[in-house]
Structure 1
Amino acid sequence: MQFVLKAVILAAGYGSRLQPFTSHRPKHMLPVGGKPILQHGLEYIRDVLKINEILLVVGYQKENIMEYFGNGKDFGLNIKYIVQHMNGKRGLAAALQLVETEISSDFCLYLADNLFGANLKKVVESHVENNSSVTLHVEQHENPSRYGVVVTNENNIVTKVVEKPKLPPSNTVITGFYVFSPIIFHYLNKLSPSARGEYELTDAIQLVIEAGLDVRASMISGWRQDIGYAGDILASNEHLMGDIGTVIRSETTNCEIIEPVFIGEGCDLRDSTIGPFATIGKGSKIINSNLSHTVVLENSLIDECDLQSSVIGSKCKLKGLKQFNAKVGDYSSINKL
């Protein structure tokens, strides 16, 4: 019998660093590799971790997520939604507290703004084998101050964890995947807000360490992408398309396709060069343009444009724009001719 039967996914945040693309959708619904970020995460949990019982914590523009995934049946999942009210307590710990009554055994926690190429099943197996209270997926990072930072001994036992330190005690950081025993809720309920006004999950983990319980770090090889900025959308798109390959769901006319690309349904592509690593959302129209390393959301018109390493929102109308690293929000209209 599988020991870890449920996954908790936190998808309630505003995504303020991803403006203007999160003005009309939660960041977890931004498309990369032809699907919303959150869908990639859910399918990973289903296919790699073999877990289909999902507790999904939602908040900002929750209806967008709930309407898309429903009860999860169409995705081979059983999803129960927990709402984190945006005027309530802030922080990962506050979000996790909301699911306490739904948890009776060890569970996974997955932060929905992360995508993984690593085999996280090995993290779960390590947790079970060591009978740990907490197991953290970790990696080495050149800028650890952005993350929760851990210190470990030679046996991968965590001796200290601190949130976003100005002077990091190591370069080992928590990614966005954890395995917990239900004991974590005892320590979550002891927390007070941090100096930045949030209930920090790392503070609860530190309390577990200080109680003498087993907290482990598990470093598994494979890519991981934290999606916090527009450039991360492009990086995630390239990671995923490298795995998925080319998907074309619309007719093209007199176009050069440089793989890999994703072209959604109902698109009209004419006299253009598309790719590599270009994602075109459904219903978009691309005419006499060159697009590479670029993500275009649904129902946009791109005419006589040359775009590289760019993110273009939904329902945009662009004509004559020639730019590297363009960031164009939904409903924008730009005419450079």
Structure 2
Amino acid sequence: MKGIILAGGSGTRLAPMTKAFSKHLLPVYDKPMLYYPLSILMLLGIREIHMIATSHDKPLYEELFGDGSHLGISIQYVIQDKPNGIAEAFLLTYDDLKGSKVCMMLGDNIFYIPNHKEFFADIVKMQSGAYIFGYQVSDPERYGVVEVDGNGKALSIEEKPLNPKSNIAVPGMYFYDEKVFEYAKNLKPSDRGELEITDINNIYLSNKELNVKVLGRSSIWLDSGTSDALLESSHLIQSIEKRHATKIACLEEIAVNMGFVDKKTMKKWVESTKSKSSYMQYLKNLASNW
């Protein structure tokens, strides 16, 4: 399975913070926003990742992650200067990823799923079809909304409906089989002029190949694309990290735990850094025992 992270766009909801700076590089507590979706892909064992970026932001992302090799992964950057909808990501990566199953993450979505191995176990082994997720919210009209029956099966999906049929929003994490690339090629822009991810999901729904998994109460999802949500995300991450004396989305720790990089190599990299931030101090404390 391959990974896609959407980190383009202009971040207008966070202006003026994003006038000269990508929202995906804004801090969520002690690390850039992009660390969080990337950490999910790494925890799923996905090592080949395409990151969608504007031509302005691409050098900044490269400065932050390079090609991903120090994390034992491969990151390729794909330019999207005009946001034409989430589903355009499959057209931009078509030549490289066609024929592959993919997990696509929105770069401004924060997930905290404590039992992630158990939660994703059946999903990462999927042979065909698609998986989307559900999360109960108080303002479903802001999101794509899925209506489910008593057995958790999807009945309908709508994009930002004026009169939502449920309060279950669809977070920005999607799993698709290889057919998604051909489906995307045949999409037509919506009234908003975008290639909608909801239209992709509706194709899978009509083919009875759409699976929905609702995040439990112990799991957390935040769309950190607004000022309030960004602040809330930071406070939440801070609270969890302090309570459990651990780091969420510590990419170097994940790389070692997943076997992407051996402890000796990572220890050498950690010890070569001169930063005295709390994030790096956490890594140095871990490395002292490697």
State the TM-score bracket (shorter-chain normalisation).
0.7 to 0.9
Separation (CA, whole Å) in 2 of partners of 1:198 and 1:54: 24
Q: Give the alignment partner of residue 174 of structure 1, picking from 147, 159, 170.
A: 170
Q: TM-score under structure 2 normalisation?
A: 0.77
After superposition, the C-alpha distances for 1:40-68 in whole angstroms (9 at most, x for unaligned) are 3213322x222222111111522211222
Which residue of the partner structure matches residue 29 of structure 1?
Answer: 25
Q: 1:57 aligns with which of 47, 52, 57?
A: 52
- The alpha-carbon deviation at position 31 of structure 1 amounts to 1.0
Which residue of 79, 82, 92 corresponds with 2:86?
92
CA contact 2:5–2:107 (8 Å) conserved in 1:
yes
Higher normalized contact order (CA 8 Å, seq sep 6+, divided by chain length): 2
Equivalence for 1:242: 239
The 8 Å contact of residues 123 and 218 in structure 1, kept in 2 or not, is answered as: no
Task: Quote the Cα distance in structure 1 between the aligned partners of 2:124 and 2:73.
Answer: 23
Give the secondary-structure state (helix, strand or coil) at the position aligned to 2:78: strand
Q: Which residue of 2 aligns with 1:152?
A: 148
**CA–CA distance in structure 2, aligned partners of residues 115 and 214 of structure 1:** 26
Question: Which of 3, 14, 31 is the aligned partner of 1:18?
Answer: 14
Structure 2: where are the runs of 5+ without partners?
247-273, 279-290
Match of 1:232 among 229, 232, 237: 229
Cα 1:163/1:180, change in 2 over 3 Å? same
Shift of 1:225: 1.2
User: Quick one: structure 1 residues 55 and 120, their matched pair in 2 at CA, closer, same or farther if it must change by over 3 Å?
Assistant: farther
Match of 1:102 in 2: 96
Task: Give unmatched runs, 5+ long, in structure 1.
Answer: 248-263, 268-278, 280-337
Structure 2 counterpart of 1:143, which letter? D
Structure 1 residues 100 and 122, CA, compared in 2 at 3 Å: closer, same or farther? farther
d(CA) in 2 for partners of 1:96 and 1:26?
22
1:29–1:36: 8 Å Cα contact kept in structure 2? yes
CA distance in 2, matches of 1:171, 1:186: 31
Which residue matches 1:116? 111
- Per the normalisation by structure 1, the TM-score is 0.67
Residue 92 of structure 1 aligns to a residue in which SS? coil
Query: Does structure 2 retain, via aligned residues, the 8 Å contact 1:124–1:179?
Result: no
Following the alignment from structure 2 to structure 1, what is the Cα–Cα distance between the partners of residues 148 and 34? 31
1:40 aligns with 2:36: yes
Query: Are 1:216 and 2:211 matched, yes or no?
Result: yes
Deviation at 1:265, TM superposition (A): 5.4
Q: Relative to total residues, which structure has the larger helix share, 1 or 2?
A: 2
* Structure-2 separation of matches of 1:101 and 1:181: 16
In 1, the alpha carbon distance for the partners of 2:128 and 2:149 equals: 15
- Label 1:177 to 1:123 Cα distance change in 2 as closer, same or farther (>3 A): farther
CA contact (8 A) 2:36 2:111 kept: no
User: Aligned residue pairs: how many?
Assistant: 245
Alpha-carbon separation, structure 2, partners of 1:130 and 1:77: 22
- Taking the aligned partners of 1:128 and 1:68, their CA distance within structure 2 comes to 28
Number of the residue aligned with 1:126? 122
1:165-205 CA deviation, whole Å, 9 max, x = no partner? 11111111110111100111222122111111111010121
CA contact (8 A) 1:90 1:197 kept: yes
**1:123·1:137 contact (CA, 8 Å) conserved in 2?**
no
RMSD: 2.5
Q: Deviations over 1:141-183 (max 9, x none)?
A: 1111111111223332223211111111111111011110011
> Between Structure 1 and Structure 2, whose CA radius of gyration is higher?
1
By percentage of residues, which structure has more strand? Answer: 1
Mapped to 1, the partners of 2:88 and 2:7 lie a distance apart of 13
- Partners of 1:120 and 1:110 lie apart in 2 by 15
The C-alpha deviation readout for 1:62-88, integer Å capped at 9, x for no partner, is: 2211222110122332101111132xx
Q: Does the C-alpha gap of structure 1 residues 177 and 99 become closer, same or farther in structure 2, counting only changes over 3 Å?
A: same
